[in-house]
Amino acid sequence: MNSLDFQNLRSAQGRFAAPWYQSRTIILLGPPGAGKGTQAPRIAQQYGLKHLSTGDMLRDNIHRGTDLAKQAAPLIERGELVPDNLMLGMVQERIAQPDCKSGFILDGFPRTIGQARGLEEISSPYKSRATTVLNLVVQPGLLVRRVVNRRICRKSGHIYNLVEHPPTHSGVCDIDGSELIQRDDDKETVVRERIYLYERHTRPLVDYYSAQGLLHEVEAICNPDAVTVSILKVLNTKPPTL
């Protein structure tokens, strides 16, 4: 999105913004490489929501060497899912923090029907919030290429792609100058396992949320700015129940 489009969008939102924009829950679904981590911070910034990536939260636990990390690390390394009870405990604790009071965007959670049901229970104190589920749709053939070429910055997790969105200086983050690294689970064999498990355990959530009338599909094959515009169009539509 060029800066003029972005400003026009923001000023249009400024004119029509209503309180429901701020206090809401957004769930981002999509296979590995769909662009959840690329889009979530943009949406979070636009609506003043907290971006909660369960993958980032787990990697932070691994970095800090917590008890949770001892169980989760070998699973993540193999591309397997961390058990539902651990994920629900971690998310429940996080969404109770004051910085989530105005709403949050969940990136990579829920990932199973069990997690989706659990989320409904742990979110019961926030029932008045509008929930929107966005499913980022990308042809399977693109996913592996995107993920194996991903690099992230060591300091803040800024996301690059060696083919689609390379840094200006090789190996260095444009934003904070820190080193760019490859995630351990971004090796091709592990990526393929993650995609397989997505199809098996997470894809059923598309029907689950569709049946509740919460699901919106967004084509995520064009460039990231165009995908953001499509997402904001969906999110700027007031839910019929409010």
Active-site amino acid positions:
36, 111, 150, 183, 194
Closest CA to 32 of 199, 218, 196, 195: 195
Q: Cβ 238 to ligand AP5, closest distance in Å?
A: 26
Q: Could you tell me which residues come within 8 angstroms of residue 228 by beta carbon, excluding any fewer than 6 positions away?
A: 1, 39, 42, 43
CA–CA separation, 169 and 85 (whole Å)? 42
Beta carbon of residue 232, minimum distance to ligand AP5 (angstroms, whole number): 14
Rounded Cα gap, residues 19 and 12, in angstroms: 15
Which of 77, 58, 78 is closest to 66 using CA atoms? 58
What is the C-alpha to C-alpha distance for residues 164 and 63, in angstroms, rounded to an integer?
28
Contact 176, 158 (CB under 8 A): yes
Closer to ligand AP5 by CB, 51 or 150: give it. 150
Nearer CB in complex with ligand AP5: 80/174: 80
Choice between 15 and 63, CB closer to ligand AP5: 63
Distance CA 6, CA 63 (A): 36
For ligand AP5, the closer of residues 22 and 149 by Cβ is 149
φ, ψ at 3 (rounded to 5°): -65, -25
Q: Strand order in 50-53's β-sheet? A: 50-53, 103-107, 24-29, 130-137, 215-219
CB of residue 149 vs ligand AP5: minimum separation in angstroms?
6
CB of 242 to ligand AP5, least distance (A): 27
Binding site for ligand AP5 (CB under 6 A): 30, 32-38, 53-55, 58, 75-76, 79-82, 87, 108-109, 111, 115, 146-147, 149-150, 159-161, 164-165, 185, 194, 220, 223-224, 227
Q: How far is the CB of 195 from ligand AP5 (least distance, A)?
A: 8
Q: Residue 171: phi, psi to the nearest 5?
A: 80, 5
Closest to ligand AP5 by CB, 87 vs 235, is 87
Q: Nearest residue to ligand AP5, using CB?
A: 55
